[in-house]
Amino acid sequence: MCGIVGYVGEKRAHPVLVNCLSKLEYRGYDSCGIAVSAGSLEVHKDAVRIKALEEALSPLKGTIGIGHTRWATHGEPSQVNAHPHCDCTGRIAVVHNGVINNFQSLRQQLASEGHILSSDTDTEVIPHLIEKYYDGDLEKAVATALRDIEGSYAIIVLIADEPKLVAARRDSPLIIGIGDRERFIASDVPAILDYTSRVIYLEDGDIAVITADSMAVKSDGLGVAREEHKILWSVGDAQKGGYEHFMLKEIHEQPKVIRDTLAEYIAAGEPVADLAMVGTGLGDMIILACGTSYHAALIGKYIIEGLVKIPVRVELASEFNYSGQASVGNRAIVITQSGETADALKAIKRLKERGCQVEVITNVVGSTASRIADQIVYTRAGPEISVAATKSFLAQLIALYWLALLYSKVDISQLDTLNLC
Amino acid sequence: MKQAIILAAGEGQRLRPFTVTRPKAMLSIADKPILQYVVESLAQSGIRNIVLVVGYRKEQVYDYMGSGEQFGVDITYVTQEKQLGTAHALAQAKGVAEGEFLVLPGDNLIEADAIAEFVSMKPAAVLVKRVDNPVRYGVVNIARGLVKEIVEKPKEAVSNIVNTGIYTFTAEIFNFTESMLDIPDVLNNMIAAGHSINALETDGTWLDVVYPWDILSLNDVVLRRMEASLGGTLENGVAVKGSVSVGADTVIRSNSYIAGPVVIGSGCEIGPNVCVMPATSIGDNVVISPFTEIKNSVIGNDVNVGSSCIIQDSVIARGCILQGHFTACSSQDEIRVNDSYHLVNVGAMLGEDCKVGNGVVAQPGVIVGNYCQIQPLKLIRGILPDRSQVF
């Protein structure tokens, strides 16, 4: 996982990028870098924490730029492997979150065409591919370059002499924040909460051209409109307050999370989602998730089996994608805090291909998972910045209880005596 | 004056059991922590740069106050590891203090009218107030607008003018905080060293809470000044008299009688046929079942009160479950706290998360610790420690 950010507007880009990056440090922190354009590109990067980079930098001019905070996958953490990566001319800079599967063959091909690649990363092929296809139209060059790429990506491209950014995603999250004569691009919402709460979620295959006061999104070459969402999280939700670190803060937030999540379900009056799905009745069911959500799923099995008395199977979404089987008519619950977990998204797509009804439990309104699910149950945990999940796990359990209680075949007043975790 | 340093690290030992789970500054008066009144008063006076010195149960402060944006202020936290005294607490903020600044106790209820004039007072200065019972406080001896001496809790008071614990200082104060643990001692030392300390008298709202039953008198004062705002749902036949505030999503069912001043939080279920009489605060998510009467009391969040209860002059802390026919009548009683005796009119005081069975009768003045369990039909009296079980 890495974090990427972009800014185009009227402010100086440098401090905005550094601030946005600092909010994404949970996505990785072995290296970081920014590129800012003021006619020509200035790139600063190193294998250091964002704070150290910030201290080492003298103020940069330019009101457009991109930034990256890295958790190394291809190539060791080092200055040369840190993002942004540039083309041979130093006019095009790219930040990337994801993994390019065919980067070896692309590297060889680009090298044979005379491109000089200096890092060990998969990312570096992207700016060189864009350079190769660039004939004055950056968007077209990016679209053509991405056709050569196999794998996952969220990228932001900056070119020296044009006041615009080009962003694209496939299987990695990317959002656009809308301000007053300024636009923000980031891997995740907390990065931009200091500046705006108006957000657009890009979808897989989207390519967006973004300037200070406009943005145009294309999918498969055709213009599409992407809905604007209002983020209800406050800046304070994504700040530490007096706590030393986010994990401690989030543990202390747990009573509030239970309260908020339950209050929302109760206030909704009718079930937020139906375990039986529309008109299908209740049968056996599978729950898929990764990481901490998987552990919520394991408890969910006990909750649903104990209360509803139907068999429940729990699998890691990542394993299910390679071997698991779902039969037609299966109901499935997929749990993903961010709604962007790559393996969970893949599992949802796979389940839907088999004709399964998929119910998603997620914490992020407008996330990819929420868009492709048949039914959605939102948890109200607020932004979880700590990598170790705490409050989101608890909120997921509340959601599972809530779903199961509607179909409970046991006397609720005896709930305390049941062994339901 | 742009900055205020609020001292909110103290425990408030004499307020147990209510301060076992939270610092004194976080005690709720009329559905708001004391600290929030202080912060809001500062914001109203245009002071938005706030330093909070926290210590005892500091997480409670973090969770509620956050970074301050909800209250329109910017909060920086400083920790006082051991609660040694007010001067020691202030000294912890040495690194973040800027220019001229205000110092206030976070656990005294201060309203904007009390500090409106004082915020432009030249340091060093003390805000003083006339009170009826000065021997509880630091009595200030003033001559020609300057402080001559502060005498803490004198046997006999020379005047009824007392120290509110609200000061203006510059960084110079930190030259004196090393040798003394409490601010009044520091001031006496400064005076002795030839510094002049200004005094300004206020007639604004400044209230201190020292003993559990003080919560009731503070609640009364604040409720009487509060403006009504009706949210939630009132069913047919609910009578509302006087100043009554009701939070969002609260339902008050038919034939209930609410006589203000009363504040009821959000998400509550009240009635049918419930009487809530004057000077009562009810927190969030509280359930009050039919035929219960509550008068001059403070009910915390998440409390469940059964049917046909009588609750007078009582404080029921967060999360208590009282089953039906619980009786807490008020009368005059002598209560002992830390070897001193106090004659007060009071009902029952229950700590957090107590479970009280059907038909329990509480003797006036009973103080029940946190997490106690009391079986049905018991008579409770005196002081029950935390986690007591009454069979």
Q: What is the average pLDDT across B237-263?
A: 93
Name which of B294, B260, B262 is nearest B275 in CA terms: B294
Same fold, A3-231 and A241-409: no
Residue A342 pLDDT class (50, 70, 90 cuts) = confident
- How far apart CA B354 and CA B84 sit, in angstroms, is 32
Q: What is the DSSP string of B151-187?
A: EES-SS-S-SEEEEEEEEE-GGGGGTTTT-SSHHHHH
Q: What are phi and psi of B129, to 5 degrees?
A: -150, 145
Query: And the tokens for B296?
Result: 């001059």
Residues A345-374: tens digit of each pLDDT: 999 998 888 888 899 999 988 888 988 898
Question: Which chain A residues are closer than 8 Å to B233 by Cβ?
Answer: none
Query: And the tokens for A71?
Result: 């958790």
Residue A405 has pLDDT above 70, yes or no: yes
Residue A328 pLDDT class (50, 70, 90 cuts) = low
Q: Give the 3-state secondary structure of B333-347.
A: EEEEECCEEEEEEEC
How many A/B residue pairs have CB atoms within 8 Å?
A: 37
Q: Which of A80-94, A278-292, B78-92 has the lowest mean pLDDT?
A: A278-292
B103-113 burial, b for 16+ CB within 10 Å, e for fewer? bbbbbbbbbbb
Radius of gyration of chain A (CA): 23
Question: Which chain B residues are closer than 8 Å to A239 by Cβ?
Answer: 66-67
Residues 268-307 of B with CB under 8 A from A: 285
Residue A56 pLDDT class (50, 70, 90 cuts) = confident
Beta strand pairing status for B233-234 and B251-252? parallel
Q: What is the average pLDDT across B213-220?
A: 92
Nearest CA in chain A to B266: A263
Helix (H) or strand (E) holding A401: helix A391-405
Helix A254-268 with A391-405: angle, nearest 10 deg: 30
Q: Which of A5-9, B129-133, B316-320 has the lowest mean pLDDT?
A: B129-133
Alpha-helical segments (H) within A32-137: 50-56, 103-112, 125-133
Nearest CA in chain A to B75: A241
Place of tokens 């604040």: B222
Place of tokens 């068999």: A311
Q: What are phi and psi of B15, to 5 degrees?
A: -95, 10
Residue type for A265, please? Y
- How far apart CA A185 and CA A67 sit, in angstroms, is 10
CB atoms within 10 A of CB A359: 24
* Interface contact A242-B54, CB threshold 8 A: yes
Name which of A286, A333, A308, A338 is nearest A405 in CA terms: A308
Residues B155-180: tens digit of each pLDDT: 887 788 899 999 998 888 888 888 88
Q: What is the pLDDT of residue A280?
A: 57
Q: What is the pLDDT of residue B219?
A: 94
* Interface contact B67-A235, CB threshold 8 A: yes
A131 sits in the region (left: phi over 0; alpha: psi -120 to 50; else beta) called: alpha
Residue B304 has pLDDT above 90, yes or no: yes
Question: Which residues have a Cβ under 8 Å from the Cβ of A93 and sit 6 or more positions away?
Answer: A35, A41, A43, A66, A84, A85, A86, A127, A157, A158, A159
**Which neighbouring-strand residues pair with A64?**
A8, A37
**Which neighbouring-strand residues pair with A65?**
A7, A36
- How far apart CA B319 and CA A259 sit, in angstroms, is 13
Q: What is the pLDDT of residue A32?
A: 93
* Interface contact B69-A253, CB threshold 8 A: no
> In what side-by-side order are the strands of the sheet with B348-350?
B244-246, B262-264, B280-282, B298-299, B315-316, B348-350, B366-368, B383-384
Q: Which residue has the higher pLDDT, B301 or A237?
A: B301
Residue A412 has pLDDT above 80, yes or no: no
CB of B51 within 8 Å of a chain A CB? The answer is no
Q: What is the pLDDT of residue A316?
A: 94
Question: Which chain B residues are closer than 8 Å to A242 by Cβ?
Answer: 52, 54, 58, 61-62, 65, 75, 77
CB of A252 within 8 Å of a chain B CB? The answer is yes
Nearest to B69 among A234, A259, A263 (CB): A234
Q: What is the average pLDDT across B28-49?
A: 92
- How far apart CA B41 and CA B39 sit, in angstroms, is 5
Residue B83 pLDDT class (50, 70, 90 cuts) = confident
CB of B374 within 8 Å of a chain A CB? The answer is no
CB of B233 within 8 Å of a chain A CB? The answer is no
- How far apart CA B78 and CA B64 sit, in angstroms, is 16
Nearest to A236 among B54, B59, B67 (CB): B67
Residue B121 has pLDDT above 80, yes or no: yes
- How far apart CA A209 and CA A248 sit, in angstroms, is 39
Contact A26, A52 (CB under 8 A): no
- How far apart CA A152 and CA A96 sit, in angstroms, is 10
Q: What is the pLDDT of residue A299?
A: 95
Nearest to B66 among A236, A259, A267 (CB): A236
Nearest to B63 among A252, A259, A263 (CB): A252
Longest alpha-carbon distance in chain A: 75
Residues A255-289: tens digit of each pLDDT: 989 988 888 888 776 666 677 654 556 677 899 99
CB of A245 within 8 Å of a chain B CB? The answer is no
Q: What is the pLDDT of residue A416?
A: 64
Residue A384, Cβ density class (10 Å: 0-12 exposed, 13-18 middle, ≥19 buried): buried
Residues 303-332 of B with CB under 8 A from A: none
CB of B64 within 8 Å of a chain A CB? The answer is no
A279 sits in the region (left: phi over 0; alpha: psi -120 to 50; else beta) called: left
* Average pLDDT taken over every residue of chain A: 87
Query: And the tokens for B87?
Result: 């001067």
Q: What is the DSSP string of B275-290?
A: EE-SSEEE-SS-EE-T
Nearest CA in chain B to A243: B62
Residue type for B334, please? E
Contact A395, A254 (CB under 8 A): no
Residue B270 pLDDT class (50, 70, 90 cuts) = very high
Contact B150, B141 (CB under 8 A): yes
CA distance to partner chain A, nearest, from residue B50 (Å): 13
B interface mutation test: which of A193, A233, A235, A243 has the most B CBs within 10 A?
A243
Query: Among the CATH numbers 3.30.70.100, 3.30.70.270, 3.40.50.920, 3.60.20.10, which is that of A3-231?
Result: 3.60.20.10
Exposure of A396 in the CB half-sphere (CA atoms within 13 A)? 34
- How far apart CA A283 and CA A77 sit, in angstroms, is 49
Nearest to A242 among B69, B70, B77 (CB): B77
B264-277 burial, b for 16+ CB within 10 Å, e for fewer? bbbbbbbbebbbbb
Residue A251 has pLDDT above 90, yes or no: yes
Domain boundaries, chain A: 3-231, 241-409
The CA-based dihedral angle spanning residues A8, A13, A16, A19, taken in that order and rounded to the nearest 10 degrees = 120
CB of B58 within 8 Å of a chain A CB? The answer is yes
CB of A355 within 8 Å of a chain B CB? The answer is no
* Interface contact B69-A235, CB threshold 8 A: yes
CA distance to partner chain B, nearest, from residue A8 (Å): 27
CB of A267 within 8 Å of a chain B CB? The answer is yes
SS3 B223: helix
Query: Omega into B124 within 30° of 0, i.e. cis?
Result: yes
* Interface contact A239-B67, CB threshold 8 A: yes
CB of A236 within 8 Å of a chain B CB? The answer is yes
* Average pLDDT taken over every residue of chain B: 91
CB of A241 within 8 Å of a chain B CB? The answer is yes
* Interface contact A241-B67, CB threshold 8 A: yes
- How far apart CA B162 and CA B139 sit, in angstroms, is 4
Residue type for B200, please? L
Question: Which chain B residues are closer than 8 Å to A267 by Cβ?
Answer: 249
Q: Which of A146-150, A407-411, B29-33 has the lowest mean pLDDT?
A: A407-411
Q: What is the pLDDT of residue A413?
A: 67
Residue A244 has pLDDT above 80, yes or no: yes
Question: Which chain A residues are closer than 8 Å to B65 by Cβ?
Answer: 241-242
Residue B154 pLDDT class (50, 70, 90 cuts) = confident
SS3 B312: strand
Highest mean pLDDT among A334-343, A372-381, B175-184, B316-325: B316-325
Contact A404, A286 (CB under 8 A): no
What does DSSP assign to residue A161? T
Helix (H) or strand (E) holding A347: helix A342-353
Q: What is the average pLDDT across B81-93?
A: 88
- How far apart CA B101 and CA B174 sit, in angstroms, is 12
Q: What is the pLDDT of residue A329?
A: 66
- How far apart CA A124 and CA A110 sit, in angstroms, is 10
Q: What is the average pLDDT across B104-114?
A: 88
Residue A415 has pLDDT above 70, yes or no: no
Nearest CA in chain A to B70: A236
CB of A243 within 8 Å of a chain B CB? The answer is yes
- The CATH topology of domain A241-409 is Rossmann fold (3.40.50)
Query: And the tokens for A32?
Result: 């970081």
CB of A114 within 8 Å of a chain B CB? The answer is no
Nearest to A263 among B58, B67, B267 (CB): B267
The CA-based dihedral angle spanning residues B31, B35, B41, B43, taken in that order and rounded to the nearest 10 degrees = -110
- How many angstroms from the chain centroid is the CA of residue A330? 28
ipTM field: 0.76
Q: What is the pLDDT of residue B307?
A: 95
